[in-house]
Amino acid sequence: MRAVPHHPMPPRTRHLPPPDAVRSFRPPERPRGTPPPPPPPPRRRREPHRPPRPGGLGRAARGLAGLLTAGFVVLALFLIGVQIWATSWGQQGPGTAALISHVVAAAAAIVLQAIGDREANRRGDLATAAVYLAVLGSLWFWWW
């Protein structure tokens, strides 16, 4: 058998200071009669940046867009239920094209409404207008 060389420290701690140096470290003493150093200034907490809120008309438009989106999601879910019910009775139901278009328009309205709610700038305004376009356009196309 070969003898394993003895290392003064385990390999993982070779780059750490020796234990004696760690124990003997003391902060420098201040002369007697001198006041302690002032504490460091408190750190200021950074407030998160919040974009300006839209005015009263903008909030009303976005609220109505959210209401239309929620109602359109309920309509899409209702159409899914009617299609399942009609198929189980051997009837035609609303049809696959109407069903898929309502679900896609409802999903688009949800995404656009989320963008419109989160951003109080031109992009949010355009997203809100697109919600009106998607919901009212789909209602006009399929229900009139």
Residues 66-120: tens digit of each pLDDT: 999 999 999 999 999 999 999 999 999 999 999 999 999 999 999 999 999 988 8
- Mean pLDDT, rounded, for 4-22: 59
Residue in the block written with tokens 């003898």: 3
The counts of H helices and E strands in the chain are 4, 0
* Single-letter amino acid, residue 91: Q
Contact 121, 51 (CB under 8 A): yes
Query: Model-level pTM greater than 0.75?
Result: no
Distance in angstroms (rounded) separating the CA atoms of residues 103 and 122: 27
For residue 40, the model assigns a pLDDT of 84
